[in-house]
Amino acid sequence: MKKNRMFAAAIAMAIATASQSHAGGVHGSSHGATAGEQGKLSDVSKTIQIDMYDNYYEPENIDVKKGETIRFVINNKGMLVHEFNIGTPEMHEGHQEEMLMMIQHGIIQGGKLNRDLMEMDMGNGETAEMIWKFSDDGNIEYACNVPGHYPAGMYGAFKF
């Protein structure tokens, strides 16, 4: 996977997991922009807890430095399926179409995931972890791209 096409996600309901894609591909489209890359545990400089509620995150904004590697601990405290994605606004826009297809194919069903239809192991717990290196700065945000969640305000900004 090329760095400039990397896009991170953690999908959750009362379940949260970290992954690079839903089916082995890359989330969204890069449009020439980058959001960073998967980091190494040995390079983590801090841990940040992310709580997902029904259509917002806590915290709403996160301060990061270019080159910094962060361990995210993601908890879904809402009733619906949510995800934690790191990417540019263009990446999120492209990924929203993929998430709509997951609903149309019955994979996302309101407050649950149909694991029998998933092409990857999504884990089983209420918490996920993701390690991410911010090798680039710019307009990078985190978002839930389950249909309707991003427009309802379920996104936050990384401040460099």
pTM: 0.77
Average pLDDT over residues 127-156: 92
pLDDT value at position 61? 97
Q: Which of 1-10, 119-128, 146-155 has the lowest mean pLDDT?
A: 1-10
DSSP letter at 127 equals E
pLDDT at 1 over 50: no
User: Which one is predicted more confidently, 121 or 45?
Assistant: 45
Which residues contact residue 116 at a Cβ distance below 8 angstroms, ignoring those fewer than 6 apart? Answer: none
Please report which confidence band the pLDDT of residue 108 belongs to, taking 50, 70 and 90 as the band edges.
Answer: confident
| β-sheet bridge partners, residue 130 | 72
Class at the top of the CATH hierarchy for domain 3-150: mainly beta
| Average pLDDT, rounded, for the chain | 78
pLDDT value at position 35? 86
User: Which one is predicted more confidently, 70 or 122?
Assistant: 70
Check if the beta carbon of residue 23 is closer than 8 Å to that of residue 118. no
Sequence ranges of the domains in the chain: 3-150
pLDDT value at position 9? 58
The residue among 81, 150, 74, 75 whose CA lies nearest residue 112 is 81
For residue range 29-60, what is the model confidence (pLDDT) as tens digits?
334 457 899 999 999 999 999 999 998 999 99
At 9, which amino acid appears?
A: A
pLDDT at 115 over 80: no
pLDDT at 77 over 80: yes
pLDDT value at position 113? 81
